[in-house]
Amino acid sequence: MIHVLIVENMNLIRGGLVALLSGHPDMAVVAALESADKALPAALELEPDVVLLGAGMEDANGFAIAKSLHDELRSCAIVIMANRRRPGDLRRAVAAGVMGYLLIDAPPDDLADAVRRAAQGERVIDSELAFAALDSAESPLTDREVDVLRLAAQGASSAEIAGHLFLSVRTVRNHISRIIGKIGARNRIDAIRIADDAGWL
């Protein structure tokens, strides 16, 4: 029997996932949570074979939760259902230790099969996302440029970035100018968007 913990903030989708997986004789839903913040405590208590993170969890917080689950409960496989097609998200998912990454519009049988395969230790990745990730460019940014842009994405000013990274404000501005030029962005905000979509942050 495969024990599944479902985390999905949309009531209708959560109920549908419970009904879908519970309809398979080899699966049992041990809990269905509406808040991702409850995922780690529940997983540590219930020790499921698979944690299914619903659509909308493929943001920074969702990937952080997936990594926490992976680090704290190695025997548990994590499957994310994504509602967007961004190669960078797949990179983040793999880095977080996720075993499965599917699109929300995947056929129901594919989801059940993905849960089974993930429980057996196989990686299950949506083929469209996998090809998009292979086709996407490698990051042209240096580690320091990534640090600068990541802080900028969190809303830090040039002075705050400089203080955090022990740089001068002028050096930070030079880094941002180089980043904008390297990735063909219009401005700092556009650079953050491009880098985030590509999974470079």
User: What is d(CA 127, CA 79) in angstroms, rounded to the nearest whole number?
Assistant: 15
For position 132, what pLDDT does the model report?
Answer: 63
Query: Domain coordinates of the chain in residue numbers?
Result: 2-135, 143-198
For position 106, what pLDDT does the model report?
Answer: 83
- Is the pTM higher than 0.95? The answer reads no
User: What is d(CA 131, CA 183) in angstroms, rounded to the nearest whole number?
Assistant: 21
The CATH fold assigned to 2-135 is Rossmann fold (3.40.50)
User: What is d(CA 182, CA 5) in angstroms, rounded to the nearest whole number?
Assistant: 43
User: What is d(CA 196, CA 80) in angstroms, rounded to the nearest whole number?
Assistant: 18
**Domain 143-198, CATH 1.10.10.10 — does that match?**
yes
For position 144, what pLDDT does the model report?
Answer: 94
Over residues 99-106, the mean pLDDT reads 86
For position 62, what pLDDT does the model report?
Answer: 76
pLDDT in tens, 38-88: 899 999 999 999 999 986 665 557 788 889 999 999 889 999 988 776 767
Same fold, 2-135 and 143-198: no
For position 47, what pLDDT does the model report?
Answer: 94
For position 57, what pLDDT does the model report?
Answer: 63
